[in-house]
Amino acid sequence: MAPTSRRTHDPSRRPAAEATAQRRRASLRKKRIVAIIIAGALVLSTVAGVIAASTSTTTDSTAPTSTTLPTTTEVPATGIEPTGAPRGEALTGATPCPPVDGSAVRTTSFAEPPPMCIDPTRFHTAVVTTDAGALTFQLNPQRAPESVNAFVVLARYGFYDDAPITAIAPRGWFEAGGLLAGDGPPAGFTIPDEAPPQGQIFTPGTIAMVGDAGTAGPNRGAFLVATFENAPAIDQGVSSFGILLDGTATLAAIDAAATADGRPARPITIESVTVTESDPIP
């Protein structure tokens, strides 16, 4: 019979061998853990160095900068009293349709409402340029033909040139075109209200004709533009006649001049209004 191995079959040596193996395994585990920790530290050190190097090399003028969103600021309590726009020529008889290129002599007083000078089957594009930026509107004569016609006629007569923004309701709307130098109401003629009986929603950039007090009533040329979340407070009786196509940054810049009493915090002036006929209304 072959000799039996004492290492394999000697019961007295098994506990000692197992204990030695356990110690070795524990030692290896400790070494692996230490190695992992050291490797991790090296990786972190390398990443930190890369970040530091990247930071130090992107401090020139071409480095990208982050944009900080503006925070809501407290609305000033009171504003300024706007100065009325200079008066232009006065018409004492019927109001003729002005040239479409805006070449008419600036006129600010009218004895009679204008005839229908626009094509009511087509949209019109109006660009209202202010010293705070430009606003582009699409005007819809099918929605409010008298309001669109009056606005276009007055714009082509230069009625709104140099007109101040007279009121700014915080996050609600602003009003313009209702103040001329001297006594007497602007424009002189009135047009009827065209508010829809079913009501209307004033989304940001909605443009509407308003009465003398900025609400519904006989209109003499003043208009308002809805701005932001307080626009639902606009009088439902005013005659909306168009929507904003471009100029949200200008809308925000004008709203930034709002005060609690509704007067603008600083002068904002309409420089010009140009209107062009555009696409047929479907």
Statement: residue 54 has pLDDT above 90: no
253 and 147, same structural domain?
yes
The dihedrals phi and psi of 47, each to the nearest 5 degrees, come to -60, -45
145 and 251, same structural domain?
yes
170 domain-assigned: yes
H/E element holding 45?
helix 14-57
105 and 195, same structural domain?
yes
Q: How many domains does the chain have?
A: 2
34 and 112, same structural domain?
no
**Whole domain around residue 26: which residue ranges?**
13-55
47 and 97, same structural domain?
no
Contacts of 103 (CB under 8 A, 6+ apart): none
Burial degree of 246 (CB within 10 A; 0-12, 13-18, 19+) = middle
User: What CATH code is carried by the domain that includes residue 100?
Assistant: 2.40.100.10
The dihedrals phi and psi of 31, each to the nearest 5 degrees, come to -65, -40
- Across 78-101, average pLDDT: 93
pTM above 0.95, yes or no: no
Other C-beta atoms lying within 10 Å of the C-beta of residue 192:
13
In tens, the pLDDT along 226-258 reads 999 999 999 998 999 999 999 999 999 999 999
272 and 132, same structural domain?
yes
7 domain-assigned: no
Statement: residue 186 has pLDDT above 80: no
More confident site: 12 or 151: 151
Tokens 């190695």, located at residue? 35
DSSP per position, 120-153: TTEEEEEEEEETTEEEEEEE-TTT-HHHHHHHHH
pLDDT (0 to 100) of residue 185: 64
Q: How many CA atoms lie within 13 A of 245 on its CB side?
A: 12
3-state SS, one letter per residue, for 168-235: EECCCEEEECCCECCCCCCECCCECCCCCCCCCCCCCCCEEEEECCCCCCCEEEEEEEECCCCHHHCC
Question: What gap in Å lies between CA 120 and CA 223, rounded to an integer?
Answer: 20
pLDDT (0 to 100) of residue 43: 35
Question: What gap in Å lies between CA 177 and CA 191, rounded to an integer?
Answer: 15
251 and 200, same structural domain?
yes
122 and 22, same structural domain?
no
Question: What gap in Å lies between CA 181 and CA 90, rounded to an integer?
Answer: 14
147 and 47, same structural domain?
no
In tens, the pLDDT along 93-134 reads 999 999 999 999 999 999 999 999 999 999 999 999 999 999
In tens, the pLDDT along 59-80 reads 333 333 333 334 445 789 999 9
100 and 226, same structural domain?
yes
